[in-house]
Amino acid sequence: MSKLGKPMTQRQLRVGEMVKQALGMIFLREEAKLPNLQTREITVTEVRMSPDLKTAKAFVLPLGGKDTQEAIDKLKEFSFVIRKVLSKKITMKFLPKLLFVKDESFDYAEKIENLIKQTNK
């Protein structure tokens, strides 16, 4: 769901999934040459598209969760390189602007799991 409480449209979900898979393949094959960053170790967990499909917010997490902020800063800094490679992978009227954000869903799930374990004791 978006911030305004409106559910995402089928089109937003479909395009988000397409961008997610393309980014995953770009990172896995290391097609975007980023200095001092092993893109093979980056996991794209989700991509949320804006309603006009011009902005894509990619939730990423480095393997093992180490140096997360440093990796995200590198991705933000070189997003134009990733976007250029992405333009060759997908065909859209407007190529979305890429925003990279740390995925905190795993931390949140672990916190909830620990709370459940504490209540069961």
Token pair in block for residue 19: 């961008």
Q: Over the stretch 48-77, which tens digit does the pLDDT of each residue have?
A: 999 999 999 999 988 877 788 888 999 999
In the predicted structure, residue 112 carries a pLDDT above the cut 70: yes
**Alpha-helix runs per DSSP H in 1-121:** 10-28, 68-77, 79-89, 105-120
Gap between the Cα atoms of 75 and 98, Å rounded: 9
* The pLDDT of residue 50: 93
User: Residue ranges of the domains in the chain?
Assistant: 10-120
User: What is the topology classification, in CATH, of domain 10-120?
Assistant: GMP Synthetase; Chain A, domain 3 (3.30.300)
Q: Over the stretch 2-21, which tens digit does the pLDDT of each residue have?
A: 456 678 899 999 999 999 99
